[in-house]
Structure 1
Amino acid sequence: MAQEEVTLERSLDNAANVLRSKMDANEYKNYTLGTIFYKYLSDSMLYYVAELLEEKNISLEEAQKLYEENQDDQYLIEELDIKFNYVIEAKNTYTNILKSINNHTFQVSQLGDAFNSIESQGKEFEGLFDDYDLYSKRLGNTAQKQSDTISEVLSAIGKLEIVKTPEDTLGNAYEYLIKQFASESGKKAGEFYTPQKVSRLLARLTLVDKDYTDGMTVYDPTMGSGSLLLNFRKYVEHPKRITYFGQEINTSTYNLARMNMILHHVDVVNQKLRNNDTLDEDWPVEEITNFDAVVMNPPYSHKWSANAGFKDDPRFSAYGVLPPKSKADYAFLLHGYYHLKHSGVMAIVLPHGILFRGAAEGKIRKKLLENGAIDAVIGLPANLFYNTSIPTTIVVLKKDKQDRDVLFIDASKDFEKVKTQNELRDEDVEKILTTYKERKDIDKYAHLASFDEIKENEFNLNIPRYVDTFEPEPEINLDEVSKELRETNEKIKENEIELISMLKDLTSKDEKITKGLNDFISVLEEDVK
């Protein structure tokens, strides 16, 4: 691990340690991530101030001083606004607030003013710091204790260089925080975190044999922190031509996705994000609704209303039945598939139950298979996700398939165990992608099943029905076993004879002990005859 990353992670952990004893991980992540975001906005602007004033290779403190000297320069302020769509006053920069902390003059209200100023500068910034509760009693019972706690958090992160680093370093740091908090707080945090290898796999599956040189639209109806959407930037020729559509029901997580978009320099016009319930109210409806790629990692077997009125909803009406109230897995799948462009590709992660459960889900699955909608079923290892240890499956769907074949891949045994979590390796991801592209049978790994074969299996898509991974027990050589047994017995006998000899050398003045010893020797001598 690079030294820079070690320092970064240690600093983030230090900030978390300040809050760990005061609140659970699902709460203190808001403070740590909010601080990172605020510092990034502030530092980016200060460095650009130095660039505009033709000062190179200067520290943030020096850039702050330059800014204070030129903050009345209207040209400078206009250029900052054009570049960032926000301007942070000199008194509200992270660097200046850190200086007040070092001077022991800091008050929480200073940070509150800074946040309010940022949030007032455009729709894309509204409410971004709502979860950063500066006056929470968890921070301390008095205003001074609250200020002291916030000071420690700001100081822990204050020395980090998070702008003049490769962009992936910043992204990795951000994901590290999410992963750490997901691990500590369990399901609550895990709901919005998809491991990066899985995110990359989902994105790349939808891009196989596609050319989006002229731009593309991607949609994640359960976007969480937005990591699934942002992965597309790494694999297309012109990442700035991607338009991102995403919806998230949890407001805190929705704000996290908005921060993530800004941190990754996604232009405001390319962000179409919404805070709402994906299943309860269809979206988007007025804007582009046919997407080149749809990716999803929805909450598994989530409950939903399944009201009778949804039978007339165009997302579900073609299937004759609704997914059950107790399991919304197919509701999410059908929502995403409905919004897929005719030439697009969808990849969704779901529990294995969707492959074989009957009743309404069985009818929906049958209809999808009859329509040729399901392109591939990929079994993933267990314990990949922070919110569940169960094995999951990726289902790949299309609307323009010329056949009704389904490729089955059993990748459940290919992973690396890291501490208590399983992780996909790069070679595991590449193996899946290569197999998906080639669509050929691989012994104990992949099988291309015809529609007739699936029909014979009564539309049950359980992977073991199509990919036989059974490994027979090796044949036992009885001659070798007998030989080893004889050799073992001989060795035991030799050891017993040696033990008897050693016991005979023992003496004692106690007649009772001597008699017991002789009796024990007699028993051993009987055994070795």
Structure 2
Amino acid sequence: MTLENTNKTKALIDDLKAVCANNGLGNSSSEFDIITQAFLYKYLNDKFTYQLKRVRPDLTEAENWQEELLEMDEDEYRLLELELETNAAFLYPRHLITNVFNSQNDNDFAKTLDDTLLDISQINNQIFSVTTGGGSKIQLFDRITEFVKDASLRDNFARAIINKLVDVNFEAIMEEGFDFFSTIFEYLIKDYNNDSGGKYAEYYTPQAVSKVMAAILVPKPTDNVTIYDPSAGSGTLLMHLAHAIGPRKCTVYSQDISQKSSNLLRLNLILNDLVHSIGNVIQGNTMTAPYHREHGKLRK
């Protein structure tokens, strides 16, 4: 199943890149934002439905369970949030990809898609936002269709994106482990974050080196550990350390001057069951304005 899930997930990433290329955005800086945000929307959608089916099988076993969700009143639906784990975004029926897909023939569909992403960001802002050194919040999503400069093409671009997302189901990958998600993360960002000095490259610790460092730093199981990286990049080393310790047994603290790297680290934390640490991700310059301190000194 792992190989099948890997191939299916990589195929979606390739399909999203093809959509960008067909709309003149291939190999552009905005392609990175579109690919990572569309992928994250799909992952959060399926994570939510996966958890919902676990806690409320009576609700989701119906043939048209999405319609039943739509018929629930606000108070009843909000009670569902208390039953779900906190490592998933909370979505309303209007946010589900199937429901957005069903509205793709409406006017201004690009606006519908963008509004949906921003609404998800706002509702989940407290848990999923990255903080800047100045205290501002960087939300999960942007208006991704506005990267297409010709406004007349945005609706078709949005339809192409949503049609790719609705074609696959990621619920099966929720049981996959660190090795799977580290492989997918590396594939997702391979064209945008590498050590070959490309146009959009960021420095990062290669997977093989991170694995060795984690084995040295965590020689035996341990509990209640904090991990701090003052120049975290996309978080490859942090993820290996957290995997060696156990994601439920550690808390990650980080800072990095790059907003792109901080967004990648957030994605990495979401994929690797470390949502509880997103609030500790700081985008800023550790050299001139270190954020994480202990007893008046830089955290170690």
With the length of structure 2 as denominator, give the TM-score of the two structures: 0.80
Determine the structure 1 residue equivalent to 2:160. Answer: 152
Q: Does 1:4 align with 2:5?
A: yes
What CA distance in whole angstroms lies between the structure 2 residues aligned with 1:109 and 1:27? 18
Q: Does 1:234 align with 2:235?
A: no
Determine the structure 2 residue equivalent to 1:438. Answer: none
What CA distance in whole angstroms lies between the structure 2 residues aligned with 1:58 and 1:187? 48
Determine the structure 2 residue equivalent to 1:113. Answer: 115
Determine the structure 2 residue equivalent to 1:215. Answer: 224
What CA distance in whole angstroms lies between the structure 1 residues aligned with 2:188 and 2:275? 24
Choose 1 or 2 for highest CA Rg.
1
What CA distance in whole angstroms lies between the structure 2 residues aligned with 1:241 and 1:66? 37
**Matched residue SS, 2:215:** helix
What CA distance in whole angstroms lies between the structure 2 residues aligned with 1:182 and 1:174? 11
Q: Does 1:34 align with 2:3?
A: no
Per-residue deviation at 1:118? 2.0
What CA distance in whole angstroms lies between the structure 1 residues aligned with 2:69 and 2:250? 34
Q: Is the 8 A contact 1:108 1:134 kept in 2?
A: yes
Determine the structure 2 residue equivalent to 1:83. Answer: 85
**Matched residue SS, 1:135:** helix
Q: Is the 8 A contact 1:245 1:273 kept in 2?
A: yes
AA of the residue aligned to 2:238:
L
Determine the structure 1 residue equivalent to 2:202. Answer: 191
What CA distance in whole angstroms lies between the structure 2 residues aligned with 1:146 and 1:272? 35
Q: Given the superposition, is the C-alpha separation of residues 245 and 65 from structure 1 closer, same or farther in structure 2, using an over 3 Å criterion?
A: same
**Matched residue SS, 1:246:** strand
Percent of pairs with identical residues: 21
Determine the structure 2 residue equivalent to 1:382. Answer: none
What CA distance in whole angstroms lies between the structure 2 residues aligned with 1:230 and 1:224? 11
User: How far does the alpha carbon of each residue in 1:150-181 deviate from its partner, in whole angstroms, 9 at most, with x for none?
Assistant: 32123223322223211443442222111233
What CA distance in whole angstroms lies between the structure 1 residues aligned with 2:9 and 2:286? 36
Count of aligned pairs? 283
By relative contact order (CA 8 Å, sep 6+), the higher-ranking structure is: 2
Q: Is the 8 A contact 1:216 1:242 kept in 2?
A: yes
What CA distance in whole angstroms lies between the structure 2 residues aligned with 1:58 and 1:74? 22
Write out aligned runs for 1:496-511 (5 A). Answer: none
* Structure 2 residue runs without a partner (length 5+): 130-137
Per-residue deviation at 1:134? 2.7
Determine the structure 1 residue equivalent to 2:292. Answer: 284
* Counterpart among 270, 273, 284 of residue 262 in structure 1: 270
Q: Is the 8 A contact 1:52 1:76 kept in 2?
A: no
What CA distance in whole angstroms lies between the structure 2 residues aligned with 1:113 and 1:33? 17
What CA distance in whole angstroms lies between the structure 1 residues aligned with 2:98 and 2:80? 20
Q: Given the superposition, is the C-alpha separation of residues 197 and 95 from structure 1 closer, same or farther in structure 2, using an over 3 Å criterion?
A: farther
Determine the structure 2 residue equivalent to 1:274. Answer: 282
Q: Is the 8 A contact 2:195 2:203 kept in 1?
A: no
The Cα RMSD (Å) is: 3.2
Q: Is the 8 A contact 2:227 2:238 kept in 1?
A: yes
What CA distance in whole angstroms lies between the structure 2 residues aligned with 1:265 and 1:183? 24
Determine the structure 2 residue equivalent to 1:141. Answer: 150
Per-residue deviation at 1:105? 5.5
Q: Is the 8 A contact 2:252 2:277 kept in 1?
A: no
AA of the residue aligned to 1:9:
K
Q: Is the 8 A contact 1:92 1:113 kept in 2?
A: no
With the length of structure 1 as denominator, give the TM-score of the two structures: 0.48
Write out aligned runs for 1:381-460 (5 A). Answer: none
AA of the residue aligned to 1:7:
K
* Counterpart among 232, 251, 257 of residue 249 in structure 1: 257
Higher helix proportion (structure 1 or 2): 2
Write out aligned runs for 1:358-373 (5 A). Answer: none
Q: Is the 8 A contact 1:80 1:86 kept in 2?
A: no
Q: Does 1:182 align with 2:193?
A: yes
**Matched residue SS, 2:193:** helix
Per-residue deviation at 1:232? 1.8
Q: Is the 8 A contact 1:93 1:114 kept in 2?
A: no
* Structure 1 residue runs without a partner (length 5+): 290-337, 341-529
Q: Given the superposition, is the C-alpha separation of residues 265 and 203 from structure 1 closer, same or farther in structure 2, using an over 3 Å criterion?
A: same
